[in-house]
A and B are shown apart, each in its own frame.
Chain A
Amino acid sequence: MNRARMLMAVAGLGAVLLPLSAQRTAPHDSPGRKVKPPATAEPLRGERVFKQNCGRCHNPPQSFPPQISGSILRHMRVRAALSASDEKALLRFMNP
Chain B
Amino acid sequence: MSRHLPYHPRIKWKVIALVVAAAVISRHQAGAQNVPPISGGTGFITSTNGGSTTYLPVIAPTLVVPLGNHLLVESRATILESYFPRGGGQPGYTHQRFLGLSFLQADLLASSHVSVVAGEFLTPFGTYNERLSPIWISNFEDAPLIYSLGTMSTASSVGGMVRGSAYSSDKVNLTYAGYFSAASTNEQFDSERSTGGQASAYFPMPRVEIGYSFGRLLQDTRENFSGAHLWWEPADTYLRLRSEYARGPHAQGYWIEADYRLARFHGEDSFVGRLEPVFRMQQTFRSAPDSEDGLPSANTQRADFAIDYRFAHEIRINTSYSRQFSSIGNRNIWETGIVYRFLVPTWRSR
Docked Cα-Cα span, A15 to B257, in Å, equals 10
Q: Is the interface of B mostly helix, strand, loop or mixed?
A: strand
B268 touches A (CB below 8 Å): yes
Q: How many contacting A-B pairs (Cβ < 8 A)?
A: 158
Do A78 and B107 touch (CB < 8 A)? yes
**B291 → chain A, closest Cβ, in Å?**
27
The answer to whether A68 touches B35, judged by C-beta atoms less than 8 angstroms apart, is yes
Taking CB atoms and an 8 Å cut-off, the chain A residues in 51-78 that contact chain B are 51-53, 56-59, 61-62, 64-72, 74-75, 77-78
Please give, as numbers and ranges, the residues of chain B lying within 8 Å of A83 by CB-CB distance.
112-113, 164-165, 168
A43 to B4, CA, bound (A): 37
**Count of chain B residues near A, Cβ 8 A:** 71
Specify which of B111, B239, B348 is in contact with A19 (CB 8 Å cutoff). Answer: B239
Beta-carbon contact of B236 and A95 below 8 Å: no
- Which residues does chain B contribute within 8 Å of A86, judged by CB atoms? 165, 168
Q: Assess whether A68 is in contact with B37, with CB atoms less than 8 Å apart.
A: yes
A40 within 8 A of B: no
A70 and B66 within 8 A (CB) = yes
Question: Does A34 make an interface contact (CB < 8 A)?
Answer: no
Sort A-B residue pairs by CB-CB distance and give the 5 closest, nearest first.
Answer: A70-B33, A15-B279, A19-B260, A67-B349, A81-B175
Q: B residues near A, CB below 8 A?
A: 31-37, 39, 64-66, 72, 74, 107, 109, 111-113, 115, 117, 130-132, 136-137, 163-165, 168, 170, 173, 175-177, 202, 204, 209, 231, 233-241, 258, 260-261, 263-264, 268, 277, 279, 281, 301, 303, 305, 310, 312-314, 323, 325, 341, 343-345, 348-349
| Residues of A near any B CB (own CB < 8 A) | 1, 4-5, 8, 11-12, 15-16, 18-20, 22-28, 48-49, 51-53, 56-59, 61-62, 64-72, 74-75, 77-86, 91, 95
